[in-house]
Amino acid sequence: MTTPVTPGADPVGGGLLGRTALTALAPAVWGTTYVVTTELLPPGHPLFAALLRALPAGLVAVAIGRALPRGAWWGRAAVLGVLNIGLLFPLLFVAAERLPGGVAATLGAVQPLGVALLAVVVLGHGLSARRLAWGVAGVVGVGLVVIGPDAAFDAVGIAAGLLGALGMALGVTLTKRWGRPPGVGPTAFAGWQLTAGGLFLLPLTLLAEGAPPAVDTRAVVGYLWLGVIGGLVTFALWFRGIGILPVTSVAVLGLLSPLVAALLGAALLGETLGPVQLLGFALALAAIVAGQLPGRARPLPGTATRTESRTESRAPTREPAPSPDPGTEPGAGPVTGPGPERATR
């Protein structure tokens, strides 16, 4: 069991709205990955792009944070890095290669549902019918936005997409359960996971893609965007948000990624958004907003009654000190996140 982060380890303050907005920046920026990859990066090397996005950013973040894991955190950082980054990218790339982009994006949108269910088992939260309903609505909304009439389905691609989404759902839930060690800020914490994920990707990239591609100026700009903004900055914001906001509220923010990708496709690539897509946008946005509202969960028989209450949602401007019941405080440690694809991180 870990101790919650000590006050002062995370200097960024702000109220609930500000914290939610900062966390939402992460999936919104991840939505730019598709257009950056297709327009700036050399084709045929998605794992190399994922490697450059993770490993250099992770090493820089560790240097900035000036903190290394200790004790059990070496293993925990490795597990979280593989689930949130190292395993996620290859699985989503397989889904991207074998499925239309819209189908892969919709599979990625099941992550909030996975988090809602895992929160019951891993965190002891009550099962909220309202959150499950809005999670389903979010998946339907994303599907309306990105799935075209000629969508095809492939069993291996579907399995890869679902495993990637559920793997990150487990990573998000474990991140909430374990919290962060005392005195370790979100930048160093993100650096541990980016480095672990990058080291996991390194041999896979060498085996699957061989020598790196030739890189021109446009590619350098793309890699810098993915590594610095789409990697170091956004993952620090994402993991910080997981620590201080209800985990299911953070998970549903991930729906922003395919929505931003679709908007950029329409604005920059000439793609069309018709009435059905606009309806899907409205439904997905409603699910995102509803996911941020406080509510009482209905616990399953035999489970703990720790709910993401109004008290948790109205977090103070600084991360709280340890309390007698760490499961009820946001950010509490013990109880208690892509290549050429709109679904990827």
> Model confidence over 262-272: pLDDT tens digits?
888 888 878 78
Q: Give the domain extent around 32.
A: 16-328
Return all residues near 111 (Cβ < 8 A) that are at least 6 apart: 165, 166, 168, 169, 172, 251, 254, 337
d(CA 299, CA 307): 8
**Residue 239: closest CA among 191, 288, 309:** 191
Among residues of the chain, what percentage have pLDDT more than 70? 79
pLDDT at 288: 93
Distances from the Cα of 277 to the Cαs of 116, 214, 243, 280, in angstroms? Answer: 26, 37, 33, 5
pLDDT(310) > 90: no
Q: How far is Cα 265 from Cα 259, in angstroms, rounded to an integer?
A: 10
Chain CA centroid to CA 117, Å: 16
209-234 pLDDT tens trace: 999 999 999 999 999 999 999 999 99
Residue 345 belongs to a domain: no
Looking at the domain assignment, is residue 176 inside a domain? yes
- Encoded tokens for 303: 């489970």
Q: Is 127 helix (H, G, I), strand (E, B) or coil?
A: strand
Q: Given a cut of 80, is residue 6 above it in pLDDT? A: no
- 306 band by pLDDT with thresholds 50, 70 and 90: very low
User: Is residue 170, in this structure, part of any structural domain at all?
Assistant: yes
Q: If pLDDT is split at 50, 70 and 90, which confidence band does 338 have?
A: very low
> Cα(340)–Cα(317) distance, rounded to whole angstroms?
38
Whole-number average pLDDT of the chain: 81
- Phi first, then psi: give them for residue 331, nearest 5 degrees: 85, 0
Asked if residue 236 is part of any domain, the answer here is yes
In a domain? residue 50: yes
Phi, psi at 343, each rounded to 5°: -85, -15
Asked if residue 339 belongs to a domain, the reply is no
Question: Is 80 exceeded by the pLDDT of residue 52?
Answer: yes
Count how many domains the chain has.
1
Of 58, 112, 57, the closest CA to residue 254 belongs to 112
Amino acid identity at 154:
D
* Spatial distance between the Cα atoms of 176 and 242, rounded to a whole number of angstroms: 6
Q: What is the pLDDT of residues 229-268, one digit of tens each?
A: 999 999 999 999 999 999 999 999 999 988 988 888 888 8
Q: Using CA atoms, how far apart are residues 43 and 213, in angstroms rounded to an integer?
A: 9
DSSP assignment letter at 6 = P
Question: Does 166 or 4 have the greater pLDDT score?
Answer: 166
Q: Is 321 domain-assigned?
A: yes
97-124 pLDDT per residue, tens: 777 666 777 777 888 888 989 999 999 8
At 328 the pLDDT is 37
Q: Of 249, 268, 265, give the one whose Cα is nearest residue 19.
A: 249
pTM equals 0.78
30: nearest Cα among 192, 228, 260: 260
For residue 66, pLDDT over 60 is answered with: yes
Examine residue 342 and state whether it is found in any structural domain, yes or no. Answer: no
142 burial class (0-12, 13-18, 19+ CB within 10 angstroms)? buried
Tokens describing residue 91: 């699985």
Torsions phi, psi for 23 (to 5 deg): -65, -40
CB atoms within 10 A of CB 217: 8
Distances from the Cα of 171 to the Cαs of 8, 26, 196, in angstroms?
A: 25, 16, 13
Q: Give alpha helix (H) positions in 179-255.
A: 186-209, 217-224, 234-244, 247-252
